[in-house]
Structure 1
Amino acid sequence: MRLTTHSDLSFKTLIFLAVAGEDGATIAQIASAFGASEHHLRKVALELVRLNLVTATRGRSGGLRLAASPAELTIGGLLRQFESVFADAHCLGAAQNGCVIFGLCGLQRVFNESLGALFSVLDRYTLEDVVKSSPGVAAKLGIEAAPPPV
């Protein structure tokens, strides 16, 4: 599977925000943690806000926060929102796309079945699963652990 840079940075941003929790983060913090361009991350953040995955607040205590619980966001659902094309093969398109045996060979069925299996797996996992199964991510990203509730 191949992700666009935009999708990759979208997932990284959501992971950062899931780890940061209620505190959220600024574009500068996320860009610094991943060595990404703030300009590119700003575009990603705007798209995440447009998709209602992230909220953005301006001002001194502003920043980005997840708009939903990480437990509500499936990896498959997110990927479907980030990517519009899942394979470059002509066989996976709805139109012939110049293939003279389109619809006659079994390759289209095989590719579609495998893509269905991929999403079947991705839909079983949430952003929360990804974050919980990755101990040490907060420290690696420079996010301080929230103090335990008193």
Structure 2
Amino acid sequence: MDKSGILNTTIMKLNSATDFSFRFLIYASVHGDRLVTVAEVAEAYGLSHHHLSKICKTLIKEGILEAKRGRDGGVKLAMAPEEIGLSRIIQIMEPDPALVNCTGGIGGQCKILPACKLKGVLAEARRAFFDVLDKYTLADLVAEPAIAKKLVALLGED
């Protein structure tokens, strides 16, 4: 607890693959139809090339990005930013979206599972989380011209 007596905990935290996926997609989106490379995205954000390569492969496999091989190769969005829902990216990149694991994990199956309502409450909260994210697409993050221009400038490309 902090000095105010409030418990400091993160209720839901997305993994780094999800975070990096959003960054990669924002970068690709503000560059339109230009092919971008993993190396340039890694450099722009100061992220691991290795991690971004794995993320890029997953996004290609899922049809979010398309790749062109060869000397002048790279990747770009495989669809319009308006078609890329934020919740879909999370669902692709998060291996286990459950907030608690009542049936296994470190502590094994929880003893109170047959009488506990916590799992249902947390499932409802998870649905609400995705209901909000379902309202937004990649376009909502980058479509406003002033925001897109600022993003490009922040990525060191003005």
C-alpha distance in 2, partners of 1:88/1:129? Answer: 27
Count of residue pairs the alignment pairs up: 142
1:116 is aligned, of 96, 120, 127, to 127
What's the secondary structure of 2:42's corresponding residue? helix
TM-score (norm 2): 0.81
Q: Structure 2: which 5+ runs fail to align?
A: 1-11
TM-score (norm 1): 0.85
| CA deviation map 1:122-149 (0-9, x unaligned) | 00000000113571111111345xxxxx
What's the secondary structure of 2:120's corresponding residue? helix
Aligned to 2:52: 41
| CA deviation map 1:7-36 (0-9, x unaligned) | 211111111111111113111110011101
Q: Is the 8 A contact 1:20 1:143 kept in 2?
A: no
What's the secondary structure of 1:21's corresponding residue? coil
What's the secondary structure of 1:39's corresponding residue? helix
In structure 1, give the amino acid aligned to 2:87. G
* Aligned residues: CA RMSD: 2.1
Comparing 130-139 with 21-30, greater Cα deviation is found at 130-139
| CA deviation map 1:97-128 (0-9, x unaligned) | 51111141221111011101000000000000
> Which structure is higher in RCO with an 8 Å CA cutoff and minimum separation 6?
1
Q: Does 1:74 align with 2:85?
A: yes
In structure 2, give the amino acid aligned to 1:139. A
C-alpha distance in 1, partners of 2:95/2:54? Answer: 17
What's the secondary structure of 2:79's corresponding residue? coil
Structure 1 runs, 4 residues or longer, greater than 3 Å off: none
Q: Does 1:142 align with 2:153?
A: no
Structure 1 residue 47 displacement after superposition? 1.2
In structure 2, give the amino acid aligned to 1:142. G
C-alpha distance in 2, partners of 1:114/1:49? Answer: 30
